[in-house]
A and B are shown apart, each in its own frame.
Chain A
Amino acid sequence: MEKWTKKDLLGLEELSREEIEHVLSTAESFKEVSTREIKKVPALRGKTVVNLFYEPSTRTRVSFEVAAKRLSADVINVAIETSSVKKGETLTDTGKNIEALKADIIVVRHSSSGAPAMLAESLKANVVNAGDGWHEHPTQALLDMFTLKEKIGRIQGLKVSIVGDIAHSRVARSNIWGLTKLGALVTVCAPKVLIPEGIEQMGVRVTHDIDQALKDADAVNVLRMQFERDESAAFPKQLEYFKTFGITSQRLKKLKKNIIVMHPGPINRGIEISSEVADGENSVILEQVTNGIAVRMAALFLVSNSQQE
């Protein structure tokens, strides 16, 4: 990679294979920083990072905050309740106000798909998407890929199954874009109502059989099930879901192989994953959290030093 030219990190769809690999290799160098006694480097000293969160999220926000602080940036957290937005100022106005405070990087989480793109277009500040609607969650997918690469040594040719509510998952979409670009074979697995239309056109295989999805896979990414989201009867019930799609040690034992189990968190024990698996030797869930910091440091560092053409 000669130059990092992206002012913003909005999604993995718009990144090339080389760009994704560059983020991952940059993150490798950053991982070491967190093992030092003084866990801090001055790369973003004097820069201001604003975490603009329109959706409650502790773990992503904290991860970005830690990442920014380890780069010596000043971090400001702004949480805005979506319910108050109706009366309040528009997203663009809020963004411009934050920029007027001389913020350099805005990390945005929003319930509307496309909101970070809208912000990025109207601001000079770098925008990093921390999750928008059902659209993308690029840093989550990057940390998932980073973890896979660290564990297995490569992405090319890996078989990765993503299990859960694909329809409403930005994590799934970003993982699909990233993994397929890096040459992995991706399978999505869910009940029919949770598979969105046309997903195969994103280059994935679809199955409704969890054992099939696991049998073929080197790794499985288990999505958080949010039963409170959908009130319709078509949505499967919790217990029924765990029985048919839950990742349990019985299911893993049958495989007679080592499969990596990932989860973006927070986990629902006994709903999409059993406690035994979540805490077991296949699970890399806590390593994902650690790697998230390195990946987000890389993301902040790269956009901050981007050279636009």
Chain B
Amino acid sequence: MSILIKQGRVIDPANKRDGVFDLLIEKGKIVKIEENITDSAQTVIKAQGKIVSPGLVDMHVHLREPGREDKETVSSGTLAAAKGGVTSVLAMPNTEPAIDSESIVNLLASIIKKDAKVKAYISAAITKGRDGKKITDFKNLKKAGAIAVSDDGCSVDSKTIMLKALEEAKKEDILVICHCEDHSLSKKGVMNKGFFSTKLGLCGISKESEYKMVARDIELAKKTGARIHIAHVSCKESVEIIAKAKAKGIRVSAETAPHYFSLIDESVSGYDTNMKMNPPLRGVADCQAIKKGLADGAIDAIASDHAPHTINEKAIEFDRAAFGVVGLETELAVAITELIDTGMLTWLQLIAKMSLNPSRILNLNQGSLGINSPADVIVISPDKEWVVEEENIISQSKNSSFLGKKLKGLIDYTICQGKIVYQSQ
């Protein structure tokens, strides 16, 4: 199968390319990228006025399989990914049961092989049952195919156990993805602690509960030399701590999610449970600090933290509703609306944050449009406006923070390993 994409504006941060080119895909690889390609191809995509970039690599996705197929499955989640321009996802291990043994990694891998519409990678748990007590077998998990470990959803509370985990991770050369939350501080909190939690009478989650744990994990990374990645950074102080650590040469990378640079805690007013996630939406200053952190490089990546929940877990009292929102189908549009349109990031920077950088953090050979690279390519209509509605969300769960909002930027084609896996109508 061959695909020729004509006259799109090619954005390829790996090769520092930003210009109008033709791009030819054959047998799952990029074979040519030139100003004018005259070769014939089975499929020709006219991409004038459109953006052509590497497929997005989303390193924080909850596919919910095995165990919570009522929320999402590998099949439905990766289909949603394709619609959002995401060609690689990293599946988080807080499934039921947790991905904490080789056999469960194997099980998930077999489901992925059978059902996944795009590439799906596996993160295993740091501790057995993600309870923060007993470390899993990193060596064998890696051998079975896990490319990172994380107890996402929880921190490893005990410093001793986290230290041990990082020592082990260093030895096995596996990335540790840190969910940073000091539970003794966040307690029963359900939204950001501040004026709006006071006004709404909701229990607050302090920023301290996040950044103190970021600081602790960075300290342990420094001590052990392990590679850590800070998940879903939401507040200003965390950005500052990460920037300082990077300046000191500590091996730390960080991601944020689109809702943290587009929404603030005020959005919780009205008790909209689609504004409930962990960490919570923060204040205006934090939102700006996240944008700045993306621009100056303190934050390496944007990941959706796609967290599907059924309506039964969301259409209830705010304090009882589940944390988390879906994001695969909106992340690029939110980023274009909030970061490109506002001039915070260039296209090269944005695509790096959503493709090349996460790929490098995860040691994947992706996020590049270089010759012979795997043909994970997307075609974007950057100016097309659309309104997020439940009906147009194809994820099994509809818990989006952006319902009813107008966004800019729509995916026309998602090509994964040389095959068109999504095409807009």
Contact = CB atoms under 8 A, between A and B. Distances in A.
Report whether chain A binds chain B: yes
A196 B316 contact: no
A92 B194 contact: no
Contacts of A201: 195
B282 to A, nearest CB: 13
Given A113-B201, A113-B202, A198 B194 contact: yes
A115 B197 CA distance: 15
Nearest to A166: B198
Given A197-B195, A198-B194, A201-B195, A92 B315 contact: yes
> Contact size class for A?
20 to 34
A169 to B, nearest CB: 9
A202 to B, nearest CB: 7
* B196, B199, B200, B201, most chain A CB atoms within 10 A: B201
Nearest to B320: A112
B317 A134 contact: no
A115 B317 CA distance: 6
Contacts of A173: 199, 201
Contact of B271 (A13, A118, A198): A118
A6 to B, nearest CB: 16
A110 interface: yes
Contacts of A252: none
Interface in B168-210: 193-204
A165 interface: no
Interface in A198-240: 198-199, 201-202
Contacts of A117: 270-271
Interface string A238-274: 0000000000000000000000000000000000000
Contact of B204 (A13, A112, A135, A197): A197
A88 to B, nearest CB: 12
B318 interface: yes
Interface string A124-155: 00000000111110000000000000000000
B319 interface: yes
Contacts of A133: 201-202, 319
A112 B195 contact: no
A170 interface: yes
A202 B198 contact: yes
B142 to A, nearest CB: 39
A112 B200 contact: no
A117 B317 CA distance: 10
Contact of B195 (A113, A134, A198): A198
Interface residues of B, number: 21
B321 to A, nearest CB: 10
A33 interface: no
A199 B271 CA distance: 19
A170 B200 CA distance: 10
A35 interface: no
A90 to B, nearest CB: 6
Contact of B201 (A118, A170, A197): A170
* B197, B202, B317, B318, most chain A CB atoms within 10 A: B317
Contacts of B320: 112
* A90, A110, A167, A196, most chain B CB atoms within 10 A: A196
A160 B204 CA distance: 27
A43 interface: no
A191 interface: no
Given A197-B193, A197-B204, A114 B317 contact: yes
Contacts of B317: 91, 110, 112, 114-115, 118
A90 B318 contact: no
A133 B319 CA distance: 10
A113 B316 contact: no
B87 to A, nearest CB: 38
Nearest to A114: B271
Given A118-B271, A197-B193, A197-B204, A113 B318 contact: yes
Interface string A106-120: 000010111101100
B194 A202 contact: no
Contact of B200 (A92, A114, A167): A114
B315 A90 contact: yes
B203 to A, nearest CB: 8
Contact of A112 (B194, B270, B312, B319): B319
Interface in A85-109: 90-92
Contacts of B312: 90
Contacts of B271: 113-114, 117-118
B279 to A, nearest CB: 16
* B199, B200, B271, B316, most chain A CB atoms within 10 A: B199
B201 A198 contact: no
Interface string A157-173: 00000000001001001
Contact of A91 (B195, B200, B316): B316
Contacts of A196: 197-198, 204
8 contacts: A13-B199, A112-B319, A117-B271, A132-B201, A133-B201, A133-B319, A173-B199, A199-B198
Interface of A: 13, 90-92, 110, 112-115, 117-118, 132-136, 167, 170, 173, 196-199, 201-202
Shortest Cβ-Cβ A-B pairs, 6 listed? A198-B195, A135-B201, A114-B271, A134-B201, A112-B317, A113-B201
Given A91-B316, A170-B201, 14 more contacts: A92-B315, A92-B316, A112-B317, A112-B319, A113-B200, A114-B317, A114-B318, A115-B317, A117-B271, A134-B203, A167-B198, A196-B204, A197-B198, A198-B194
